[in-house]
Chains A and B, each alone.
Chain A
Amino acid sequence: AQTVTQSQPEMSVQEAETVTLSCTYDTSESNYYLFWYKQPPSRQMILVIRQEAYKQQNATENRFSVNFQKAAKSFSLKISDSQLGDTAMYFCAFKPEGSQGNLIFGKGTKLSVKP
């Protein structure tokens, strides 16, 4: 079975500093997609960043970047220059390529950015 593990239930960071959220996954698939979603108090589910497993280059979106280690099945999210608006739950998710089925989510990490 494919699983996604987020080992940090809660984290906090000072405004303007950098924080890294961890995610590991278990799969026998060779091609797949990995995602980080943000869920702020507004309850929306917002895509932060996406990585295709066949791409060696780590994805980057402005202040958000990932460290994708395929052999280690690790997919961490780095948030640089943290802002108060980054306070949210962050979910890591996995989807096998070619499958039109569901996303598999981790349990989430609650991030608090402190002024």
Chain B
Amino acid sequence: GAGVSQSPRYKVTKRGQDVALRCDPISGHVSLYWYRQALGQGPEFLTYFNYEAQQDKSGLPNDRFSAERPEGSISTLTIQRTEQRDSAMYRCASSLGGVGYTFGSGTRLTVV
């Protein structure tokens, strides 16, 4: 696609529910990154992939968070048993493998 597409744009979920956030990167982009941005803060790294391989998941806050990119294109970030503290903007970015990152518009997650 022309840009990085994230869906849904907004997600409201009840505490304890699982959510899946989707990222569709720019076609051909090798690397895909997930970030979380709390209100009034800069984005914080969660995890990234080269092709389908998860290269670094050191930013995932706990084992309720997981991500996959099974075919090296679309990626899903899953949060299990959501908690209110998980409320944030979740951003995806992709790149050809260099430093030309393109960010999506994000998914605003609210846990009530």
Contacts and interface: CB of A to CB of B under 8 A. Distances in A.
Contacts of A33: 99
A102 interface: yes
A91 B97 CA distance: 21
Nearest to B44: A105
B43 A105 contact: yes
Interface residues of B, number: 23
A107 B42 CA distance: 4
B63 to A, nearest CB: 20
Given A44-B105, A45-B91, A107-B40, A100 B45 contact: no
B105 A100 contact: no
A101 interface: yes
Contact of A91 (B42, B55, B56, B59): B42
B105 A95 contact: no
Interface of B: 31, 33, 35, 40-45, 48, 50, 55-56, 59, 89, 91, 93, 97, 99, 101, 103, 105-106
Interface of A: 4, 33, 37, 42-47, 50, 91, 93, 95, 100-108
